[in-house]
């Protein structure tokens, strides 16, 4: 089998844009990171600060400088903005306004694998934005 040419930068942007709005996005069908960690961030990321985006009403204060997403500061965390069944079909109700810790997690990274393990999901199998199945550090086309 001949090796496929890597996609261009424009193709990557189009793939990423489409993936954010489709069920092929691995995060749409997972949501494990939203139900595994406390989501803590600087208070100025909330809409109560100029330029902040995250809805303050969906957060709890952890002190004068930090907030967390409601539901994530419990023994069994689950973000208030997560809708759906973890591992089956989920979505973030505030995706465009989500705080910085949510931007930091990427499909298949250390936090993703830990969150999937926490939620009883296989940690070493996920789908990248091109639709290829990845197992640990290998890629194979569907």
Q: What would the pLDDT profile of 13-49 be if each residue is shown by its tens digit?
A: 444 444 444 555 677 779 999 999 999 999 999 999 9
- Cα–Cα dist 35/78, whole Å: 4
| pLDDT at residue 3, as a whole number | 56
Q: What stretch of H or E contains 138? A: strand 138-140
Is this structure's pTM higher than 0.75? no
Q: State how far the alpha carbon of 75 is from the alpha carbons of 38, 52, 125, in Å.
A: 9, 28, 26
Residue 122 vs residue 58, higher pLDDT: 58
Q: Is 98 left (phi over 0), alpha (psi -120 to 50) or beta?
A: beta
pLDDT digit string, tens, across residues 83-132: 999 998 899 999 999 999 999 998 889 999 999 999 999 877 555 555 55
State the Rg of the chain over Cα: 17
């Amino acid at each position: 089998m001949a090796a496929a040419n890597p996609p261009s930068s424009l193709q990557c942007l189009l793939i990423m844009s489409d993936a954010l709005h489709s069920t092929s996005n691995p995060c749409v069908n997972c949501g494990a990171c939203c139900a595994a960690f406390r989501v803590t961030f600087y208070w100025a990321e909330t809409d109560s600060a100029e330029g902040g985006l995250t809805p303050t009403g969906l957060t709890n204060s952890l002190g004068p400088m930090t907030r967390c997403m409601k539901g994530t500061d419990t023994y069994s965390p689950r973000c208030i903005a997560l809708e759906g069944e973890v591992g089956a079909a989920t979505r973030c109700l505030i995706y465009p306004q989500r705080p910085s810790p949510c931007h930091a997690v990427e499909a298949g990274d250390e936090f993703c694998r830990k969150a999937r393990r926490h939620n009883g999901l296989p940690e070493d199998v996920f789908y990248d934005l091109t639709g290829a199945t990845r197992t640990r550090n290998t890629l194979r086309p569907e």
